[in-house]
Structure 1
Amino acid sequence: MAEKKIEEMSNEELLKNEKTISAVTYTLAGMLLLLFGLGIFLTFKKGFTALTVVPIALLPIVIINFSNIKKIKAERKLRNL
């Protein structure tokens, strides 16, 4: 199913989408921070592992989601929601 553009969403869809994206993004960011800390700890303890690279590789997803949240908030402001 194709994703609707933000401008084409109804008010309810926009609010639901913002809530979902926010929850997922903040959870992912928290888990990546935890994973990054664990990776640094394991690097000092046992040497470099592939686990150290995973949070860095997944960081663009968090950045993209934060920009989507910003766009949704701007659209909410335009619609006076």
Structure 2
Amino acid sequence: MNQQEFSNLSFEELKKKQTSIKTITWMLTIVLIGSLGFFIYISIQDGFTPLLAVPFALSAILPINFKNLKKLKTEIELKKIKI
């Protein structure tokens, strides 16, 4: 993803970006929890499956997204004060 400096974006663009990142992050969280549960169920039924590692590997994306959301929130508050 080509990431711009948040300070160069307008207030409306920041709000749009925050909404999209928040939506995508929570959808990814729900999918990872669901797939983890599904793979645990499959492992109980058929024995260990290496697919169990996939949700753990992809969960490394979540802290990065939450960190970006925090930066966006502070930048939005700074822009709100300036307006």
| TM-score, reference length from structure 2 | 0.87
Q: Percent identity?
A: 37
Asked if 1:48 corresponds to 2:55, the answer is no
TM-score (structure 1 length as normaliser)? 0.89
**Which consecutive unaligned segments of at least 5 residues does structure 1 have?**
none
CA-atom RMSD in angstroms? 1.6
Distance 1:68 1:75 in 2: 10
| Equivalent runs, 1:32-43 vs 2, <5 Å | 32-43=32-43
Moved over 3 A (4+): none
Q: Deviations over 1:29-54 (max 9, x none)?
A: 00000001111111111111122111
- Specify the alignment match of 2:67 in structure 1: 67
Write out per-residue CA displacement over residues 4-24 of structure 1, whole angstroms, 9 at most, x where no aligned residue. 111111111111100110110
